Amino acid sequence: MGVLEDKARARTFYRYLSKVYDRINPFVWNEAMRDEALAMLSLEPGDRVLDVGCGTGFGTAGILQHTEDVYGLDQSPHQLEKAFAKLGKHDPVAFHYGDAERLPFKDDSFDAVWSSGSIEYWPNPVEGLREIRRVLKPGERTVVVGPDYPNSTVLQKVADAIMLFYDEAEADRMFAEAGFVDVEHTVMQAKPGSPRAIVTLARAPE
């Protein structure tokens, strides 16, 4: 387990990263990538959508282009403060302070669940994915974005020491263990040489 796959350490990390996050993020995960990934969910006006690990609201803002019934959840109060400043504390998004592995929502609550840049910090990613499946309505879909596993052996050791990086095979295992079906992966990259993101589309069983 990487040093940031610990909730307390991750909160401390984001206490400082939140100050520069929106300036750094586009070099790894930009609007074009976000919008391409969101298109996989085929969102409709009126869909109730949850953003797990919403951070400063970058993904949340993209979801709002499709529907106004949006919920955001994050464990970092500093990241949420940035999201409040951009999108408002209560409207148009219903923000919640909480844990991805213990979502404070009822079963079958959402038409879609989005999560980008969050799974890599979860101590038990399969448990977090099970929670996403629990709150999804039967047959509905999620998109989860995480860091693709590096090809270099040296970088793999560095990555493993920091947080969760995973490839398509590991994603298949995690999503299957969490109970998802129809799992598909797309690898995205802001530009050659920049870190790659692995985007997984999966469906909750009927």
By the 8 A CB rule, do 64 and 84 touch?
A: no
**Assigned token pair, 110:** 């959402």
Flag whether 180 is in a domain. yes
Whether 145 has a pLDDT exceeding 90, the answer reads: yes
What's the number of domains the chain is made of? 1
Confidence bin at 81 (pLDDT 50/70/90): very high
- Which CATH number characterizes residue 183's domain? 3.40.50.150
Mean pLDDT, all residues of the chain? 87
Flag whether 190 is in a domain. yes
Query: What confidence tens digit (pLDDT) does each residue in 93-140 have?
Result: 999 999 999 999 999 999 999 999 999 989 999 999 999 999 999 999
Flag whether 2 is in a domain. no
CA 200 to each of CA 24, 149, 171: distance values in angstroms, whole numbers, following the listed order: 23, 14, 8
Flag whether 126 is in a domain. yes
- State percent of the chain over pLDDT 90: 68
Query: What confidence tens digit (pLDDT) does each residue in 16-75 have?
Result: 445 555 666 666 789 999 999 999 999 999 999 999 999 999 999 999 999 999 999 999
**Prediction pTM value:** 0.86
Q: What are phi and psi of 77, to 5 degrees?
A: -65, -30
Q: How many helices (H) and strands (E) does the chain have?
A: 8, 7
pLDDT value of residue 19: 56
- Region 2-7: mean pLDDT is 50
Whether 15 has a pLDDT exceeding 80, the answer reads: no
By the 8 A CB rule, do 43 and 65 touch?
A: no
Query: What confidence tens digit (pLDDT) does each residue in 147-186 have?
Result: 976 565 544 444 454 567 899 999 999 999 999 999 999 9
Domain that holds residue 47: 7-203
